[in-house]
């Protein structure tokens, strides 16, 4: 982007709440069921049916409020948002509009406060599948509607336009996701649609006080595409303005394949939705008890956990981030550290972010199904710390323990891997090797630094060869130092 411009970004995240039942009826909130099996008169909008608010949804929203410092007004109001679409059986969506359940929250990203203007509750729509003609409505032979998702509870989380870069937008979503997951209210999978994020993007000249006209970009299904879409859109707007064009307020569609945004329709103004208060629901007024109870259900949040691991284990921020971000990895590491008898927490963290994570990524397995238990990893770290295994040997042992239900000590025994750390045994090998390679020793003694380095490496290699790679390298080095002078 030209240095004369800066971007202004606000994000709207829709999160499916992981309740057992839907927002206003007792139907199961379940992904992947046979189409139109989780439906009833309420979520199908049949005449005479009445919505009843799901208490757990309110509890989840209050928990989220406690996590991100929202203000929870005394009352919030449900409203009807009217529009016609075949996947919305009532022809209106029950949502919150002027008086949402949560206002004024915040997330801190690298020391920058990103305001969250509101979070409100609403019901999801059903799902339409266009059959034939490449899945698009205009070329379809016919369309199928599945109402299982209709009435599933959503929370829409609307940030203030405080975000300035695609990078920051990604960090914001990533943090938001971590928080929602940690407090247990959603599984927040962008790829599966349980979290959908739309980006509002505008640009302005650096130093300008007013915002430019914003464009809303939809259809990003990963953090990566969110970042790409924002970067593309910023560039497109700057080029348009530089070419003397005006930005039109519209909704644009991100196309993952061509890496561009495409105009869809000019955005409806809110007046098009003819919002009015939902007559079938009373105002939502969470009791003091509910508010207090929710605050007590917020566990340690990702930011705090990272800070604690960095302080206690002396690990880098990037490692702490990986541990906390990967499902179950920090729990595993903490359990392993608790089981340590020898070795450092930092070593546990390194194995977790290195070989353990590598194996999880390679196999697509989740950490709970690994045959390796946390105390197995603690045992491995102990074997390295005690000098029984070299790091390279430990790598092999770990690889086996990740695949088969074996303890590290068992693998060491089976393979006869034990590292030779006995001074007498090592000294004998060193003496033999030096005697058998007297030429190399002479050349070492007479040589310059380069020659010394080369001969020294050769002799070390011979010692290791004689010990089948199982000599303790620090001790061998020390013995060689003593003998070679
Ligand atoms: P709308 O009336 O279109 O819903 P809102 O003012 O409610 O617009 O804002 C919707 C989202 O757009 C919020 O996330 C907000 O931060 C963001 N936003 C508002 N104005 C701008 C702007 N000029 N540029 C970028 N984002 C903006
Ligand atoms: Zn139902
Ligand atoms: Mg709005």
In this prediction, what percent of the chain has a pLDDT beyond 70? 98
pLDDT at 340: 96
pTM score: 0.84
Nearest residue (by CA) to ligand 1, atom 11, is 10
> 265 pLDDT band (50/70/90 cuts)?
low
pLDDT at 385: 93
Site to substitute for ligand 1 among 100, 214, 273, most atoms within 8 A of C-beta? 214
> 75 pLDDT band (50/70/90 cuts)?
very high
> 266 pLDDT band (50/70/90 cuts)?
low
Give the side-chain half-sphere CA count within 13 A for 241. Answer: 21
Torsion 15-19-21-24 (CA) sign: negative
CA 150–ligand 2 middle distance (angstroms): 8
Q: Is pLDDT of 375 > 80?
A: yes
pLDDT at 415: 83
pLDDT at 442: 93
> 2 pLDDT band (50/70/90 cuts)?
confident
Ligand nearest to the CA of 29: 2
User: In whole angstroms, what separates CA 352 from the centre of its chain?
Assistant: 16
Mean pLDDT calculated for residue range 40-47: 95
CA 58–ligand 3 middle distance (angstroms): 21
Tell me the per-residue pLDDT of 124-183, one tens digit each, with 9 for 90 and over: 999 999 888 776 777 888 999 999 999 999 999 999 999 999 999 999 999 999 999 999
CA 53–ligand 2 middle distance (angstroms): 12
- Look at the domain 423-484 and name its fold: Arc Repressor Mutant, subunit A (1.10.10)
Ligand nearest to the CA of 198: 1
Domain ranges of the chain: 5-295, 302-415, 423-484
> 388 pLDDT band (50/70/90 cuts)?
confident
Q: Could you tell me if 446 and 439 are in contact, meaning their C-beta atoms sit under 8 angstroms apart?
A: no
Structure tokens at 229: 């879409």
**What is the average pLDDT value for the chain, to the nearest integer?**
93
Q: Which of ligand 1's atoms lies nearest the C-alpha of 211?
A: 23
pLDDT at 205: 95
Mean pLDDT calculated for residue range 106-124: 97
pLDDT at 418: 75
Nearest C-alpha neighbor of 377 from the set 417, 333, 346: 333
Write the DSSP assignment of 98-163 as a string of letters: SS-SEEEEEEEETTEEEEEEEEEEEE---EEEEESGGG-GGG-SEEEEE-TTTT-EEEEEEE-S-B
Q: How far is CA 78 from CA 23, 27, 191, 209, 281, in A?
A: 12, 20, 29, 35, 7
């Amino acid at each position: 982007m030209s240095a004369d411009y800066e971007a202004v970004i606000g994000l709207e995240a829709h999160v499916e709440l992981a309740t057992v039942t839907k927002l206003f009826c007792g139907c199961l909130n379940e992904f992947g069921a046979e189409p139109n099996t989780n439906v009833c008169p309420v979520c199908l909008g049949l005449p005479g049916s009445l919505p009843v608010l799901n208490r757990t949804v309110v509890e989840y929203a209050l928990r989220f409020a406690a996590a991100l410092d929202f203000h929870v007004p005394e009352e919030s109001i449900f409203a009807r948002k009217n529009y016609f679409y075949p996947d919305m059986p009532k022809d209106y969506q029950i949502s919150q509009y002027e008086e949402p359940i949560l206002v004024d929250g915040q997330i801190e990203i690298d020391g920058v406060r990103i305001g969250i203007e509101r979070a409100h509750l609403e019901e999801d729509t059903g799902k339409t599948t266009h059959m034939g003609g490449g899945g698009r409505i205009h070329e379809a032979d016919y369309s199928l509607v599945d109402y299982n998702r209709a009435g599933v509870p959503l929370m829409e989380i609307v940030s203030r336009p405080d975000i300035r870069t695609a990078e920051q937008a990604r960090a914001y979503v990533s943090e938001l996701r971590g928080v929602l997951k940690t407090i247990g209210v959603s599984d927040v999978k962008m790829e599966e649609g349980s979290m959908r994020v739309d980006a509002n993007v505008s640009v302005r000249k650096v130093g300008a006080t007013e915002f430019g006209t914003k464009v809303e970009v939809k259809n990003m299904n990963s953090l990566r595409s969110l970042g790409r879409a924002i970067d593309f859109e910023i560039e497109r707007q700057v080029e348009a303005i530089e070419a003397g064009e005006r930005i039109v307020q519209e909704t644009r569609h991100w196309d993952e394949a061509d890496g561009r945004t495409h105009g869809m329709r000019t955005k409806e103004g809110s007046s098009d939705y003819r919002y009015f208060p939902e007559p079938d629901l009373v105002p939502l007024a969470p009791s003091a008890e509910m508010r207090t109870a929710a605050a007590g259900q917020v566990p340690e949040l990702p930011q705090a956990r990272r800070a604690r691991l960095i302080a206690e284990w002396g690990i880098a921020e990037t490692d702490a981030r990986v541990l906390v971000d990967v499902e179950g990895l920090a729990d595993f590491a903490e359990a392993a550290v608790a089981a340590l008898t020898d070795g450092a927490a930092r070593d546990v963290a390194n194995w977790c972010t290195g070989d353990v994570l590598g194996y999880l990524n390679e196999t697509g397995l989740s950490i709970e199904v690994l045959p390796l238990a946390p105390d197995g990893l603690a045992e491995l770290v102990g074997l390295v710390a005690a000098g029984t295994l070299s790091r390279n040997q430990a790598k092999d042992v770990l690889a086996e323990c990740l695949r088969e239900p074996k303890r590290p000590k068992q693998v060491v025994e089976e393979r006869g891997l034990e590292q030779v750390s006995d001074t007498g045994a090592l000294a004998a090998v060193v003496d033999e090797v030096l005697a058998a390679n007297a030429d190399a020793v002479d050349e070492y003694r007479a040589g310059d630094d380069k020659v010394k380095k080369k001969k020294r490496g050769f002799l070390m290699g011979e010692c290791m060869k004689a010990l089948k790679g199982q000599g303790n390298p620090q001790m061998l080095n020390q013995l060689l130092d003593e003998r070679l002078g």
